[in-house]
Chains A and B, each alone.
Chain A
Amino acid sequence: MAKREFDVIGSTVTRKDAPKKVKGEHEFADDLQFPMMLHGRIKRSDIAHSRILSIDTSKAQALPGVKAVLIGSETPIKYGIVPQMPTEYAIAHEKVRFHGEPVAAVAAVDPETAERALDLIEVVYEPLPVYTTPEEAMAEGAVKIHEDNKFPGNIAYEADQDFGDVEKAFADSHYVLEKTFKTSYVNHAFMEPHCAVSKFDTNGELFIWSTTQVPHYLHRHLSKVLQMEMDRIHVKVTGVGGAFGGKGEVSNNELISALLARKAGRPVKVLYSRREVFLQHRGRHPIQMRVKVGVDKEGMITAIDYDGTMDGGSYGGWGLVILFYTAAMLHLPYDVKNVRFRARRIFTNKPTCGAMRGLGGVQPRFALESLLDQIAIDLGMNPYDLKKKNAIGLKHETVSGQVVRHCEFRKCLDQATELSGYREKHGKLPFGKGIGLAGGYYISGTAYTLYMAYKPHSSALIRVDTEGGVTVYCGATDIGQGSDTVLGMMAAEKFGLPFETIHVVSGDTSLAPFDLGSFASRVTVAAGSAVCKAADNIIDKLLPVAAVQLGVRAEQLEAKRGMIRSVFEPGKEIAFWDVVSKYIDAHGPLTATGDYTPPRRTGKFKGANIGHSPTYGFSAQVTEVDVDLETGEVRVLRVTEAGDCGQPINPVSVEGQVEGSIMMGLGQALYEEVKVGRDGRLMNPSLHDYKIPTMADLPELNTTFVESYDPDSPYGAKEAGEGPIQPVIPAIFNAVYDAIGVRFTEMPITPERVLRALDEKKRQEGGTC
């Protein structure tokens, strides 16, 4: 039985980075300056799909102040975050596949000179047809965007999974509802643009400072693209000004800064403009989904059938993984026995889609939670009742073999609906006002690495030293979410020391032991487990030393409140640091490691490795909206969230994750969409034209947690950073339906769409009178 009385876990500590951040002292990559540092700029194509016939860089090279010019033929090695399917180049090689793709790069003494040099580079293109939608790219006779692609019709990959007997289940159903949904092309819009600084030392070793979620994958990619041994490359993560998945794979500027630095023999910084952030993209996949759900008389789900076409953009990125995640995320948090999944990811001539907060889950949740809402209404049930009936229990194994070891989703549904008064309000508010409910869940890490290695996914080293204090070394990456704080809190709790005294060294491939990175909501469980194990190993070394001093058995000792003390004999205690000192006198340095490998599960079908997670977080949200019938504007008034994230380690940080998720989801539901012209050009690559929520859009957010503790997780914790975005969009759509009786199936719900729908509704109702 896990102990539940904590001194540090669950308390509100001051993040150590916060005082530095409010003073502007926290260092981001663009804050770095080195003597003789050059500025790299990237020439980008002004055509979306073409062969590159020639590039003439001679004039650029001749410009005073230019120290290196680089083109694709100098870096012809393909890479990809999914190493089995490399599709990308640091700089376009032989072909460009989207408008704004890098075709050359320049390093110069200042940004202005570099930019002037870009204008002097002449590229001759041979244009090819441009496909900005999957329909066009899949059409008969379409040119292949990737010539070596083994699938026809620009299909990057496809997947089909069948569980149970879907046809029979539909035939036996009491009610079946089918709709087609369309999700939008959205960008992470983190505040800090990508930036990397590369520097080679005299021994030819590379040091790179970058704003990345995945220093390990950057390390691997640099080794491949630069053809260097990994031990000669040192990746250092700077402050990360938001990422949300968008810095979760290698970005061209990182590779280009290293290549330019090598060529110029001087440090090179490559900072993106905001437009370039939109071109690097890796945002959420637009998906067109036809989804069908059957239920029996009681409203129990009998079957789900899904057919989806994902617009992948020009390169592979995380696409393959996301495709199979979408399959895995289709029906949880509900118990469904018959499931069919058909999907494909299509290459188009647009910036590449990839991992964005809650990947794999957000689009199917939108469809499923909308359909379940409508089915309940059509059957005359309250949507809460239908969802509660179908919700999985404390433990569950899905038809696809995913094991949920701990789930409090039912509590989430109860708490969110009770706190918001959902049951009393739903269907009873005046026209124009509405309330909607949706549920969601997310993985807390993955079961496999992308390149199928057996090594642990996370590792930690703890050094306890009479001079240096306690230092936790772990390759996890704090991307602003506060993971260093969480890891430090866990170590503090283990050692019975104040949080403020724990140092955490993270995000550095040379200093800190291996960790896969910050993605898939994995850090708290995976890196947390590694840190806890390392701390336990330290304590195992200390207790026998303390036992000798105290004249008791080591097994009865615990580390608590600065002491190592007997749990049975009050007063038998010795200061933690005295024991450390005695240990070091007798044995030398006090260090220990810990590691974490998630349980490996699989099945016997394609994609069976993807979707498994050691544990899952859940949430339910109720959203209240006001639709302005004159202007068509939808205003979100209030969101009530009840989350099962296990034991919150740092509750204020968890609330921050939830609140950030809600506002990000709200943006996608109501405002955000990257617009692409017929020629593949982005129409709104700025924060002026691409509207993300501002403070003026902030509704009342009521963030709560349900009582939850996963006994197999470090301090009972589960993920919290990506689960809470899952219900946001469908809860808003369901609330809009409740408000005006219009079932939107396409996002965002813009005022124009609302007015058009209201007009249409009026016409139809007029027609029936």
Chain B
Amino acid sequence: MKTLLKLNINGEDFDLAASPGAYLVDVIRETVGLTGTKKGCGIGDCGACTVLIDGRPTLSCLTLALACVGKEIVTIEGLSKGNELHPVQKAFIDKGAVQCGFCTPGMVLSAAALLRENDRPSRDEIKTALAGNLCRCTGYTKIVEAVEHAGQLISGEAHHG
């Protein structure tokens, strides 16, 4: 049996029907149709499904949709303001941190959450904060550079480009 629930995703309320055991990742992808959130394992090992819940990076494949009622959910689609990309998104593009793009949404959201707490993280802080987001393409180097660069963009020390 499905139950009705209201989820706030990217600032908008969605009235949805989902089974009580449904995971947030599936509700976001299948029911709402926001497919930017990726599913690389479904059991909490890869970080591809990361979304922000009340600002905290959270694995949506381990989170029940029902548990998110009344919370603010931000997916990759909601990070940018319209066509104005978030500094992390800009930095990922500028630094060549994107290859296949499958890990990218989760990686970008984890990085955005880190920089909200600390816009001048050290390399080690970046590596620790993002160690739960796996990427098999890039070898991580350009992602670390992008996160550093995004921090500079946020703190106004560098310009896009």
- What residues of chain B have their CB less than 8 Å away from a CB belonging to chain A? 29-30, 33-46, 48, 75-77, 79-80, 85, 88-89, 92-94, 96, 98-105, 108, 126-128, 130-144
Contacts and interface: CB of A to CB of B under 8 A. Distances in A.
Contact of B80 (A23, A30, A188, A479): A23
Contacts of A307: none
A555 to B, nearest CB: 39
A482 interface: yes
Contact of B85 (A19, A244, A701): A19
Contacts of B89: 19, 22-23
16 contacts: A21-B104, A24-B76, A24-B104, A27-B35, A31-B29, A191-B48, A191-B102, A480-B102, A658-B139, A659-B140, A660-B139, A664-B136, A686-B45, A687-B45, A688-B44, A694-B131
Contacts of A693: 140
Contact of A692 (B98, B99, B101, B136): B136
B43 A23 contact: no
B134 A26 contact: no
Contacts of B44: 688
Contact of A656 (B37, B133, B139): B139
Contact of A694 (B38, B104, B132): B132
A14 interface: yes
A655 B140 CA distance: 11
Contacts of B105: 22, 24
B100 A25 contact: no
A31 B37 CA distance: 10
A200 interface: no
Given A24-B77, A479-B100, A686-B45, A661 B139 contact: yes
B42 A695 contact: no
Given A25-B36, A660-B138, A655 B96 contact: yes
Contact of A22 (B34, B37, B98, B137): B98
Contact of A274 (B29, B45, B138, B139): B45
Contacts of B104: 21-22, 24
Given A27-B35, A662-B139, A274 B102 contact: no
B92 A18 contact: yes
Contacts of A239: 100-102
A696 interface: yes
A593 B46 CA distance: 43
Contacts of B93: 14-15, 18-19, 22
B140 A695 contact: yes
Interface string A662-688: 111000000000000000000000111
A429 interface: no
A19 B79 CA distance: 13
Contacts of A192: 38, 40, 100, 102
A687 B96 contact: no
Is the contact region of chain A dominated by helix, strand, or loop, or is it mixed? Answer: loop
A241 B101 contact: yes
A274 B43 contact: yes
Contacts of A12: 96
A695 B99 contact: no
Contacts, number: 181
A173 B48 CA distance: 55
Nearest to A27: B35
B61 to A, nearest CB: 11
A191 B140 contact: no
Given A23-B80, A692-B134, A17 B96 contact: no
Contacts of B98: 15, 17-18, 21-22
Contact of B36 (A24, A686, A688): A24
B43 A695 contact: no
Q: How large is the interface on A (under 10, 10 to 19, 20 to 34, 35 or more residues)?
A: 35 or more
Contact of A191 (B75, B132, B134, B141): B134
Given A21-B98, A652-B96, A188 B127 contact: no
Given A22-B104, A664-B136, A686-B41, A655 B142 contact: yes
Given A191-B135, A242-B100, A695 B144 contact: yes
Interface string A209-240: 00000000000000000000000000000011
Contact of B92 (A22, A244, A655, A659): A22
Contacts of A45: none
B140 A686 contact: no
A653 interface: yes
A390 interface: no
A695 B127 contact: yes
Contact of A23 (B38, B46, B76): B76
A184 to B, nearest CB: 17
A19 B40 CA distance: 21
B99 A274 contact: no
B23 to A, nearest CB: 12
Given A22-B92, A24-B36, A191-B135, A656 B142 contact: yes
Nearest to A241: B102
B121 to A, nearest CB: 12
A191 B40 contact: yes
B151 to A, nearest CB: 16
Contacts of A17: 98, 101
A687 B96 CA distance: 25
A157 interface: no
B41 to A, nearest CB: 4
A274 B46 CA distance: 10
Interface in A175-202: 188-193
A58 interface: no
Given A22-B93, A23-B85, A695-B130, A656 B137 contact: yes
Contacts of B126: 695
Interface in A467-512: 479-482
A608 interface: no
Contacts of B43: 274, 686, 688
A239 B100 CA distance: 8
Contacts of A550: none
A637 interface: no
A660 B134 CA distance: 12
Contacts of A25: 36
Given A27-B35, A695-B133, A191 B46 contact: yes
A561 B90 CA distance: 27
A549 interface: no
A694 B134 contact: yes
A273 interface: yes
A698 interface: yes
A24 B37 contact: yes
Interface in A265-308: 273-274
Contact of A482 (B79, B99, B128, B142): B99
A33 B132 CA distance: 29
B134 A687 contact: yes
A24 B75 contact: yes
Nearest to B109: A24
Given A655-B142, A688-B45, A26 B101 contact: yes
